[in-house]
Amino acid sequence: MTLTKEEVEQLAQLGTPAYYYDLPLLEQTLDAAKTAAEKRNFHVHYALKANFNERLLSLIQSKGFGADCVSGNEVQKSIDLGFAPDKITFAGVGKADKEILTALRHDIFAFNVESIEELEVINSLAGEVGVKANVSLRINPNVDAHTHHYITTGLDENKFGVPNSELEIAASILRKCENLTLVGLHFHIGSQIVDLNVFKSLCVKVNEWKNWFEERGTTIKVLNVGGGLGIDYHNPDTNAIPDFEAYFEIFDKFLERTPKQEVHFELGRALVAQCGTLLSRVLFTKSGIKKNFLILDAGMTELMRPALYQAFHKIERVGDVEGAESLNYDVVGPICESSDCFGKEVLLPKSKRGDLIAIRSAGAYGEVMASKYNLREEIRYLYK
Ligand SMILES: *Cc1c(COP(=O)(O)O)cnc(C)c1O
């Protein structure tokens, strides 16, 4: 991670911890995804929950991506930032009436529905508002994403989706719900998926379920296969842009569809993770009985992923450190929790109070998960 002299000066005035966003890199990433998707006539909705920073969102909107939302506020925010309502979807296992009403009033493209009860509630609220709502049924395909169990969502034991045993009933209820139109099927099996074979298995299941519905006389216009494409947390510089070409090619090859059937994706992490870095200064160094500690001014309150699911982030010292002696450090934050640790036994140039540390690939599920725990200060921002 290199910062220009100007950026370091800006940072010195601004203070740390700060989120640094490389907007040119974001733009390149978006262009790569867009090119690979458009070539195959695929539609991509950006999953706002990965990062709803307005500077990023505006760029994503300007490139023509749709918005995949998981709360009423996310729906409202995407509307406010100019996303076209017919490119907005609303997913989530627990939608409050108020949130459903927000989405109905904006006439969004579709609700991704996760239970029979939800179908009935949306149907009755749509009746009250006097509109017809498009819905996609979220099916849990029981495909193992081979990722961390906290970010696996497509197994029978997970809370997501209409259980397979209830799809028959869901289909018959849908026929009776006069304020609902079934437009598609929705799947999302997890996040940070790096084994592309997993997506191949997903395609096989999508084909099966699509056939199941069509055999029962239901037309499926949209196949929404979710998101989940992973990024390279170990090599943020040499592998900054995910291989969208290979990713979309899997679906192009294995998903059975007619020319009329649309394929939708909901990418979050793959679009925004690499453009973000958490910048922090060393507050103190400490040599414990068994460990060397680097104590940073950033903690789990700014980036929770390591504490939440033992996520790996590459940690670097910023600046000119050639020929310096290296040491193994446990890099920790100031928060009163032992899980407030960014990395254990991280080999870094010998560091001192005031040194600048970069925690890489923090653009997804970073600032959006920030908390005020310990009554922390507002996060600062630096944009390239
Ligand atoms: C979180 C989520 C996504 C985005 O996942 P990524 O791994 O960030 O691509 C897409 N769809 C749904 C339904 C989600 O919950």
Query: Does 75 score more than 70 pLDDT?
Result: yes
The label of the residue with tokens 């060393």 reads: 282
- For the CA of 192, the closest atom of ligand 1 is 7
Amino acid occupying residue 321: V
286 bridge partner residues: 293
Residues in the chain: 384
Percent of the chain with pLDDT over 90: 81
Give the global pTM.
0.94
Helix segments in 221-370, DSSP class H: 244-254, 269-272, 305-309
- For the CA of 50, the closest atom of ligand 1 is 8
Residue 248 phi/psi, 5-degree rounding, is -65, -30
Per residue in 161-187, pLDDT tens? Answer: 888 888 889 998 998 999 999 999 999
Coil/strand/helix, residue 79 = helix
Instruction: Decide whether any atom of ligand 1 lies within 6 Å of the 17 Cβ.
Output: no
In this structure, of 6-20, 30-44, 202-216, 270-284, the range with the lowest mean pLDDT score is: 6-20
The label of the residue with tokens 């216009």 reads: 221
Amino acid occupying residue 335: I
- Say what the alpha-carbon torsion angle 104, 108, 112, 118 is, to the nearest 10 degrees: 0
Per residue in 262-285, pLDDT tens? Answer: 999 999 999 999 999 999 999 999
> What is the reported pLDDT for 91?
95
Per residue in 204-254, pLDDT tens? Answer: 999 999 999 999 889 999 999 999 999 999 999 999 999 999 999 999 999
Please enumerate in sequence order all residues whose Cβ is within 8 A of that of 257, keeping only pairs 6 or more positions apart, or say none.
Answer: 210, 223, 263
- What CATH number was assigned to the domain covering residues 23-272? 3.20.20.10
> What is the reported pLDDT for 319?
81
Q: Which CATH superfamily is domain 5-18+274-383 in?
A: Lyase, Ornithine Decarboxylase; Chain A, domain 1 (2.40.37.10)
Distance, CA of 321 to CA of 351 (rounded, Å): 10
> What is the reported pLDDT for 151?
63
Query: Does 321 score more than 80 pLDDT?
Result: no
Residue 358, both tokens? 């970069």
- For the CA of 267, the closest atom of ligand 1 is 9
Omega of the bond leading into 259 within 30 degrees of 0 (cis): no
> What is the reported pLDDT for 160?
77
Reported as a pLDDT band with limits 50, 70 and 90, residue 361 is very high
Same fold, 5-18+274-383 and 23-272: no
Q: Using alpha carbons only, give the angle 200, 214, 258 rounded to the nearest 5 degrees.
A: 60
> What is the reported pLDDT for 153?
66
Distance, CA of 303 to CA of 118 (rounded, Å): 33
Residues 287-290: contacts with CB under 8 Å, at least 24 apart = none
- Rounded to the nearest integer, the mean pLDDT of the chain is 93
Percent of the chain with pLDDT over 70: 96
Per residue in 80-120, pLDDT tens? Answer: 999 999 999 999 999 999 999 999 999 999 999 999 999 99
Residues 120-123: contacts with CB under 8 Å, at least 24 apart = 120/173, 120/177, 121/97, 122/179, 122/180, 123/177, 123/178, 123/179, 123/180
DSSP secondary structure of 106-163: TT-SEEEE-SHHHHHHHHHHHHHHT--EEEEEEB-------S-GGGB--STTSS-SB-
Instruction: Decide whether any atom of ligand 1 lies within 6 Å of the 69 Cβ.
Output: no
Identify which of 153, 120, 134 has the alpha carbon closest to the alpha carbon of residue 266.
153
Reported as a pLDDT band with limits 50, 70 and 90, residue 78 is very high
Most ligand 1 atoms within 8 A of CB, residue of 60, 186, 266, 274 to mutate: 266
Question: For residues 145 and 189, is the Cβ–Cβ distance under 8 A?
Answer: yes
> What is the reported pLDDT for 109?
97
**Which sequence spans correspond to the domains of the chain?**
5-18+274-383, 23-272
Q: Tell which wins on pLDDT, 365 or 166.
A: 365
Query: Does 155 score more than 70 pLDDT?
Result: no
Instruction: Decide whether any atom of ligand 1 lies within 6 Å of the 47 Cβ.
Output: yes
